[in-house]
Amino acid sequence: MEIRVAIFEDNKLIRDALQAILNGTPGYICTGAFADGNQWLQSIKRSTPDVVLMDIEMPGLNGIEVTKQLCGTFPEIKILIQTVFNDSDKIFQALCAGASGYILKNDPPHKYLEAIIEVYNGGAPLSASVAKKLLGFFSNKNVMLVQPGNTDFQLSDREKELLRLMVEGHNYKAIAEKAFISYETVRTHVKHIYKKLHVASRSEAVMKAIQQGLS
């Protein structure tokens, strides 16, 4: 089965390159490539994607606005923000709008492909550097995600190991290889980690781990 991907990107060179990479890689297919999000509803209905690669800066509606509207209408579609911006305000706005993950345009093609399959499988691609910027955003805004302290979350040694790998920015496949366990076992452990940390996403788990010193 192929993962259906739609691209919203105003730079034609980048848009064409992403389309070529997706269509040239087994397991992926680009079902639509659009220069802006002004007709996003028609574009989504026409391309019926599983995952959307969303640029932030586009003419007309920007990617954050499109993400918010798209998530409200098609909550089952996963959105991966891809941009040159690496500042915490943009990241925070995108994730609050409903994006499932965040990737920078200077990341290599294989990182894009890994992020797409991870978000498709319910993960939330977010590198450690991005997570730390988000944590800095909350600190600067005087927002406390959790009360710091010596809370015992009852994480097993294996769960602590996987959480550390998540903080380092590894995707589920890489974590499985490093921990010598299967991909599905990683997903099971991650669900347990979320439950114990009282979080709902990878980004929240990583931020909580950094803030609490769990990693």
Output the pTM of the full model: 0.66
Tens place of pLDDT per residue across the chain (215 aa):
899 999 999 999 999 999 999 999 999 999 999 999 999 999 999 999 999 999 988 988 999 999 999 988 998 999 998 877 666 677 777 877 888 888 888 888 888 898 899 888 877 776 656 666 665 655 554 444 444 455 678 999 999 999 988 887 788 888 999 999 998 999 899 989 988 988 877 777 877 787 777 75
Q: Do domains 3-125 and 146-212 have the same CATH topology?
A: no
- Give me the residue spans of the domains in the chain: 3-125, 146-212
Cα torsion 110, 14, 20, 65: sign? positive
> What whole-number distance in Å separates Cα of residue 29 and Cα of residue 50?
10
> What whole-number distance in Å separates Cα of residue 91 and Cα of residue 42?
26
DSSP for 44-73, written as a single string: HHHH--SEEEE-SS-SSS-HHHHHHHHHHH
Cα torsion 165, 126, 108, 50: sign? positive
Of 3.20.10.10, 3.30.2400.10, 3.40.50.2300, 3.20.20.210, the CATH number of 3-125 is 3.40.50.2300
Residue 12 main-chain phi, psi, to 5 deg: -60, -40
What pLDDT, on the 0 to 100 scale, is given for residue 43?
96
Name the CATH topology of 146-212.
Answer: Arc Repressor Mutant, subunit A (1.10.10)
- For residue 179, the Cα-to-chain-centroid distance in whole angstroms is 22
Contacts of 212 (CB under 8 A, 6+ apart): 146, 148, 149, 151, 153
Half-sphere exposure of 2 (CA within 13 A, CB side): 14
Q: 80: alpha, beta or left, given left = phi > 0 and alpha = psi -120 to 50?
A: beta
Contacts of 13 (CB under 8 A, 6+ apart): none
**Single-letter amino acid code for the residue at 31:** T
